[in-house]
């Protein structure tokens, strides 16, 4: 019967990490080295910040009594400071010292405004410390210049419109239909109002703001250094190495001898790979198992025997242990767990009734043909002793998996008997 694939357990992953820790270490070192190399290849970047206080400019005399702060839209001012017009003006200022286009300046500029304030923080990134400071100052001055020019243009438009209205009123005053006293009084009031407005337009404060925080020349680059990038590379290397090591398939699925089994965590390993007769190894195994001389009349002594299934094997490992005990003068009953309904095992077999029927006996429960590792572990928890029978060609990953599951349930493996692969055994028996 083919063994059904079992789901991956945390013990499998932990064991794989322990076995392949060199993979994790290697990827971590590679990440560290790459991070340090990137820090040297990555161009250095410096940042400087200029702070500008925005002055509300109310070009509408009718609204002069309104709250000044409400006449300024800071999101609009942020857009103005990062506009192509400001970038072009700043690039022109920087042209004698730095060969930068308007798009270069615009890309290097980042503007923010703290909440509930009339302050613009203009941050500029440059290839050198002096370039960063010069760029931040150039953008700040260009923003103020553009804002003043826009305000002056708006004032000029309003003045021109007002002067046209005054000319129209003056033209009306000489017409015959406006010669009456009431009409002349109305025209005089309009002319006075327009004159007052024109005077107010001439007195509007066109100061766009001022630089309240001059940019300082930065003393260190804003780009991460070798230490920061090295640690980041180390962390990314660990992130890449852990899943790689956890899912790495074994290059060699064979146990590889006693050392291989002891690496899995078995406490006692009986090496029978040099025995010419398999029965000799089982005789020693029967001797090494701690079986009480007198078994109580109320309970049996259960020994779980598990092995990798091998096609063509004449008798199962459990029966081989029964025969070895018989040669030592101990009678034992063989039970093939593979013939028991696995649902019964998961529900608690052997039951109390079955254990009573076995009272006073040595019961060898062979789980070789069980398809469920969970049921094997369940039987191990209900047994007095656990013996594993493996050959050097058995799947090491499967052995590690079962051993890990047993450890998770605090089940101690009493003995592991190691046998040669079947072709070698046939050669020894000739």
DSSP per-residue string spanning 374-391: HHHHHHHHTSSEEEEEEE
In a domain, 4, yes or no: no
In a domain, 379, yes or no: yes
If one counts the domains in the chain, the total is: 3
Report the SS3 class of residue 150.
helix
Residues 262, 173, single domain; the answer is no
Q: Is the pLDDT of residue 5 over 60?
A: no
Instruction: Check: CB of residue 69 under 8 Å from CB of residue 57.
Output: no
Instruction: Check: CB of residue 187 under 8 Å from CB of residue 90.
Output: no
pLDDT band at 62 (very low <50, low <70, confident <90, very high): very low
Residues 172, 286, single domain; the answer is no
Residues 341, 392, single domain; the answer is yes
Q: The whole model's pTM is what? A: 0.47
Q: Is the pLDDT of residue 428 over 60?
A: no
pLDDT-above-90 percentage for the chain: 39
Question: Which residues constitute the domain of residue 29?
Answer: 21-42+225-247
- Rounded mean pLDDT, 65-88: 78
180-200 residue pLDDT tens: 777 778 878 887 888 888 888
Q: Both tokens of residue 66?
A: 């309104």
Phi, psi of 63 (to 5 degrees): -100, 20
Neighbours of 259 (CB within 10 A): 9
In this predicted structure, what is the pLDDT of residue 249?
Answer: 54
Residues 70, 29, single domain; the answer is no
d(CA 133, CA 126): 8
In a domain, 186, yes or no: yes
Residues 207, 240, single domain; the answer is no
Q: Angle 209-210-213 (CA atoms, 0-180°, nearest 5)?
A: 140
d(CA 81, CA 54): 11
Q: Angle 12-14-20 (CA atoms, 0-180°, nearest 5)?
A: 100
191-238 residue pLDDT tens: 788 888 888 877 777 888 899 888 988 888 876 777 877 888 888 888
297-318 residue pLDDT tens: 778 999 999 998 776 667 889 9
In a domain, 252, yes or no: no
Residues 233, 371, single domain; the answer is no
Q: Is the pLDDT of residue 423 over 60?
A: no
In a domain, 218, yes or no: no
H-type helices in 112-180, by residue range?
A: 129-173
Which CATH number is 310's domain given? 3.40.50.300
In this predicted structure, what is the pLDDT of residue 327?
Answer: 94
In a domain, 394, yes or no: yes
Residues 204, 229, single domain; the answer is no
Nearest partner of 202 among 169, 163, 168, 164, judged by Cα: 163
Question: Which of 338-347, 396-405, 406-415 is predicted with the least confidence, judged by mean pLDDT?
Answer: 396-405
Residues 325, 190, single domain; the answer is no
In a domain, 7, yes or no: no
Q: Is the pLDDT of residue 21 over 80?
A: no
Residues 321, 378, single domain; the answer is yes
Residues 238, 140, single domain; the answer is no
Residues 269, 385, single domain; the answer is yes
162-170 long-range contacts, CB within 8 A, separation 24+: 162/194, 162/197, 162/198, 162/201, 163/198, 165/194, 166/191, 166/194, 166/195, 166/198, 169/194
Residues 76, 148, single domain; the answer is yes
Listed residues 152, 187, 213: the one ending a domain: 213
In a domain, 1, yes or no: no
In this predicted structure, what is the pLDDT of residue 123?
Answer: 94
pLDDT band at 176 (very low <50, low <70, confident <90, very high): confident
Whose structure tokens read 């029966």?
A: 319
d(CA 131, CA 429): 86
């Amino acid at each position: 019967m083919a063994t059904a694939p079992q789901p991956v357990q945390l013990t499998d992953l932990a064991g794989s990490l322990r076995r392949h820790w060199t993979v994790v270490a290697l990827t971590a070192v590679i990440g560290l080295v790459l991070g340090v190399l990137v820090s040297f290849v990555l161009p250095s970047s410096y940042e400087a910040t200029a702070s500008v206080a925005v002055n509300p400019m109310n070009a509408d005399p009718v609204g002069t009594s309104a709250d000044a702060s409400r006449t300024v839209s800071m999101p609009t001012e942020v857009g103005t400071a990062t506009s192509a017009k400001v970038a072009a003006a700043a690039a022109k200022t920087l042209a004698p010292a730095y060969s930068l286009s308007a798009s270069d300046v615009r890309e290097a500029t980042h503007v923010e405004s703290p909440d509930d304030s009339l302050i613009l923080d203009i941050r500029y990134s440059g290839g050198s410390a002096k370039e960063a400071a010069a760029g931040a100052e150039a953008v700040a001055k260009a923003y103020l210049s553009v804002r003043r020019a826009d305000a002056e243009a708006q004032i000029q438009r309003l003045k021109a419109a007002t002067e046209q209205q005054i000319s129209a009123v003056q033209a009306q005053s000489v017409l015959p239909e406006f010669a009456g006293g009431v009409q002349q009084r109305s025209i005089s009031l309009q002319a006075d109002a327009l004159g007052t407005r024109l005077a107010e337009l001439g007195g509007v404060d066109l100061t766009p703001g001022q630089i309240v925080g001059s940019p300082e020349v930065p003393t260190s680059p804003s780009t991460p250094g070798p230490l920061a990038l090295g640690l980041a590379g180390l962390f990314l290397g660990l992130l890449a190495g852990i899943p790689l090591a956890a899912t790495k398939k074994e290059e060699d699925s064979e146990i590889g001898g006693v050392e291989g089994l002891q690496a899995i965590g078995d406490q006692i390993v009986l090496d029978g790979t040099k025995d010419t007769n398999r029965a000799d190894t089982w005789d020693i195994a029967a001797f090494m198992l701690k079986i009480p001389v007198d078994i109580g009349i109320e309970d049996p002594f259960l020994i779980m025997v598990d092995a990798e299934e091998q096609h063509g094997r004449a008798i199962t490992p459990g029966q081989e242990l029964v025969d070895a005990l018989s040669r030592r003068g101990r009678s034992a009953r063989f039970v093939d767990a593979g013939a028991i309904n696995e649902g019964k095992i998961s529900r608690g077999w052997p039951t109390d009734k079955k254990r009573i029927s076995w009272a006073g006996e040595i019961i060898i429960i062979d789980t070789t043909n069980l398809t469920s590792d969970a049921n094997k572990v369940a039987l191990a928890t209900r047994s007095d002793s656990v013996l594993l029978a493996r050959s050097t060609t058995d799947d090491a990953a499967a052995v590690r998996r079962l051993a890990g599951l047993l450890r998770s349930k605090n089940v101690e493996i009493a003995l592991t008997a190691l046998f040669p692969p079947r072709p070698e055994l046939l050669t020894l028996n000739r």
